[in-house]
Amino acid sequence: MANRIAFIVLALMLAACGATSTHVAVMANPPPAVEVPSPSAEPTPSPAPRPTERVLDIKIHYQEHNLTCEAAALKMALAYEGITVDEMTLVGYMTNDRRPAQFDTRGRLIAWGNPAQGFVGDPDGHIERLTGYGVYFGPVATAATKAGAEAIKAGGGLYGSAIAPSEVYDAVLDGNPVVAWISNTYRTVNLSRYTAFDGATVSYTLTEHAVTVIGVRPDAVLINDPWFGQHWHSKAQFEAAYRTFDNMAVIVGAEMKRGSRLGSLLAGTNSAN
């Protein structure tokens, strides 16, 4: 009898363990994970296309001295950036080599100052008498920086750093006025040459002139000419005049917040002179 009771108890114990084991086995296998699809990446928006025409609000300023067209053109560009500077202060920023020109026995110009280094001659002189000439892009870019603006880009093909007409147009469309060198005949003019006091070869013309490009449309540019006034010119006409100095210009913008790129922009100037 005792053996039969022991057998029954053992059977009940085995039945209980089996139930527990079965229960644990079921809990040990978790339900399959449900995959949640990841959100698709947002497409990168395309940049807004550049407009095809724009006019910068820059009033005409007529040059105050016979030969200060570059200073007057820069003065207009600076005014758009909220900077007011008089012409002779800008000439001072450029430096001014007032040494008179030298001529050979036939009256031909053989030596004078270097417009790539500073303003040549008397700002109130007469270019046809060679008592004053002007200045090229390097000193004008320096003056822009000293006045508190940024020379975004400055160069000219005569010195291996031409600024293409398309760059001039894009600069204006982006809101940056451009000081550009042209012939005042508004056509291409051949250049003569002389040797500067520092030994550099200078290409020049007595029709040398600088203007401020302030507007662009598909077929024309709006020019603030400090001698002739404000006028639209066809792109073909502008490009012909602009070709005289092999695409020389200074693109003017607001002052950079962290330093200036002027040194790198003009790095090739000294080696070219």
Structural domain span for residue 192: 54-267
Within-domain flag for 225: yes
CA gap 272, 200 in Å, rounded: 8
Within-domain flag for 37: no
pLDDT for the residue 224: 98
Within-domain flag for 49: no
pLDDT for the residue 21: 42
Within-domain flag for 107: yes
Burial label for 268, CB within 10 Å (0-12, 13-18, 19+), is middle
**Do the bridges between strand 54-55 and strand 96-97 make them parallel or antiparallel, or are there none, so unpaired?**
unpaired
Q: What is the CATH number of the domain that holds 237?
A: 3.90.70.10
Within-domain flag for 216: yes
**Domain count along the chain:** 1
Within-domain flag for 32: no
Within-domain flag for 94: yes
Mean pLDDT by 10 residues, the chain (273 residues): 48 44 46 58 72 96 98 98 98 98 96 98 98 98 98 97 98 98 98 97 98 98 98 98 98 70 48 41
| pTM tops 0.85, yes or no | no
- Total count of residues recorded for the chain: 273
Are the CB atoms for 176 and 212 separated by under 8 Å? Answer: no
- Range 90-96, long-range pairs (CB < 8 A, 24+ positions): 90/143, 90/147, 91/119, 91/123, 91/135, 91/143, 93/139, 93/142, 93/143, 93/146, 93/147, 94/70, 94/118, 94/119, 94/135, 94/139, 94/140, 94/142, 94/143, 95/119, 95/139, 96/123
Are the CB atoms for 231 and 213 separated by under 8 Å? Answer: no
pLDDT for the residue 259: 43
3-state DSSP assignment of residue 55: strand
Within-domain flag for 45: no
